[in-house]
Amino acid sequence: MSTRATIAVRRADGFYDAVYLHYDGYPDHTGAILMHHYANQADAANLVAGGDLRCLQRESGEPEYFSDGHPAVMMPTGAALIEFARNCGAKYVYVFEDGTWSCKEF
């Protein structure tokens, strides 16, 4: 069984770029990797720019993207981001904004 998540980055214009993560979306795995390997705006934005993710590797933090995955989607508001996450079946939503990651559980 997979623990799905959404990973998003808030842009300077206030919009969010977001992707779906299929496996291991729980905070002890994905949350820890995001804070350790993607702790600045550029790294977080580059991660999301790659599109939908199968998983993040535990040791290296390297992303494994779906070969036929969707590109990142742009959301105009936080409410739209939450709706996107729910439609993806996400249990967690990770958002990088103001220099830090936050996590919301559904």
Kindly report, residue by residue over 12-60, the tens digit of the pLDDT.
Answer: 999 999 999 999 999 999 999 999 999 999 999 999 999 999 999 999 9
Give the C-alpha distances (Å, rounded to integers) separating 46 from 9, 26, 100: 10, 21, 15
pLDDT higher than threshold 80 for residue 1: no
- Give the whole-angstrom CA distance, residue 61 versus residue 29: 10
pLDDT higher than threshold 90 for residue 8: yes
- Give the whole-angstrom CA distance, residue 37 versus residue 44: 9
Exposure string (b/e) for 32-46, b if CB count within 10 Å is 16 or more? ebbeebbeebeebbe
